Amino acid sequence: MFSKVCLPLTALFILSGCATQSAYQESLDKAFAELEGQTSRSVAGISDGIDVDKLKNFKMVVFPKAVDNHMRMGKSEYIDKAPLSDMDEQERDQYLDSRTVYHSPLTYNFKILKKGRCVSLVKSRKFATHLFFGGENFDSTTKCIVLEVKKEHSKFFGKRILDLKKDDILRVRVYLDEYLRPYGHSVDYAVKLGREPYRTENIKTDSRDNSSSGLSMYPIDLPNFKNSSVINKGKDAVPLPKNLFVVFNVKSKVKTPVCKKATLYEHKDILGNVVESTWCGTQNWPTTIENDKFFAILK
């Protein structure tokens, strides 16, 4: 008769079935303590808008979620949602978080294509800013920005591997002002398998809405600070998922310190799903963005 052998603690993020809950929780608490000890920066004050001039190129790490099934020892288990009816909001979040599976992280690069006074970008045709900012009534001092977002592809012997399928998104250009009001997205779609020829679709959006990733994994779900439906939930710790796979990857891949206290905002996307973002220190982009599809964090 064979005895059950437990995996070492470093492998807990892959298989935790043979470890006790106390060992898992102990490892999780230790990982969180190390992350929280990285910095003591102050809370951001960005309700009046971001500082467009100080925003530089950056990256975000995205953990796609598998929320419908809980994977245990390679098998899918349906999440029983019946207990949710008797839980408060915090209990529901913890219950679902504990049963959420996170896939391997993706990295998205954000590049600033253009920034400046909105009234100037209205007249410019570079990056089609006239299509998105044209026709809007901007204050003469309001700043606007065009961000290009691309997913990093894996490399093999130094060469980029394109695993593209037809109609996959190659890149997204996002048109925003300093209050994160969205004026549109310009999306490049692949037209062939494994190649990079593309077609472009320009999508003008209502600047009264919140910026949304739609059904994609692009971390561009942002609160519109001029939208009264955006809720400031006050100051709290950055809500990292209680999941060792995520925490260990954050420790190894993320260079941006996770602050002890952050400002939390909550809003709904165009599909009515709740999005939560957190803002640390003097950063001009969310430290984390979380919705039903993914958890994203500044790299």
DSSP one-letter string for the chain: -PPP-PPPGGGTTT--TTS-HHHHHHHHHHHHHHHHTT--PPBP--TT---GGG---EEEEEEEEE-SEEEETTEEEE---GGGGG--HHHHHHHHHHT-EEPPPEEEEEEEEEEEEHHHHTT--GGGHHHHHTT----TT-EEEEEEEEEPPPEETTEE-----TT-EEEEEEEEETT--EEEEEEEEE-STT---EEEEEEE--TTS-B--TTS-----B--TT-TT-EEEEEE-----S-HHHHHHHHHH--S---SSEEEEEEE-TTS-EEEEEEBTT-SS-SEEE-SSEEEEE-
pLDDT bracket for residue 157 (50, 70, 90)? low
Would you tell me how many other CB atoms lie within 10 Å of the CB of residue 91? 12
Question: In this predicted model, what pLDDT tens digit does every residue of 49-63 receive, in sequence order?
Answer: 899 999 999 999 999
Domain of 115, in residue numbers: 52-62+101-298
* CA–CA separation, 147 and 53 (whole Å): 13
Is the residue at 16 inside a domain?
A: no
Is the residue at 241 inside a domain?
A: yes
Is the residue at 69 inside a domain?
A: no
216 Cβ contact list (under 8 Å, min separation 6) = 169, 172
Is the residue at 13 inside a domain?
A: no
* CA–CA separation, 119 and 144 (whole Å): 9
Is the residue at 32 inside a domain?
A: no
Give long-range contacts, CB 8 A cutoff, 24+ apart: 196-199. Answer: 196/162, 196/164, 196/170, 198/170
Percentage above 70 pLDDT, the chain: 76
Asked whether residue 8 carries a pLDDT value surpassing 70, the answer given is no
Is the residue at 145 inside a domain?
A: yes
Question: In this predicted model, what pLDDT tens digit does every residue of 204-263 receive, in sequence order?
Answer: 999 999 999 999 999 999 999 999 999 999 999 898 898 889 999 999 999 888 888 899
Q: Are 264 and 236 contacting, i.e. CB atoms less than 8 angstroms apart? A: yes
Asked whether residue 5 carries a pLDDT value surpassing 70, the answer given is no
* CA–CA separation, 298 and 59 (whole Å): 6
Question: In this predicted model, what pLDDT tens digit does every residue of 175-219 receive, in sequence order?
Answer: 999 999 999 999 999 998 777 789 999 999 999 999 999 999 999
Asked whether residue 272 carries a pLDDT value surpassing 50, the answer given is yes
Q: How many domains does the chain have?
A: 1
Is the residue at 217 inside a domain?
A: yes
Q: Are 188 and 200 contacting, i.e. CB atoms less than 8 angstroms apart? A: yes
Question: In this predicted model, what pLDDT tens digit does every residue of 80-118 receive, in sequence order?
Answer: 667 777 888 777 777 777 778 899 999 999 999 999 999
Q: Would the pTM of this model clear 0.85, i.e. be above it?
A: no
Is the residue at 115 inside a domain?
A: yes
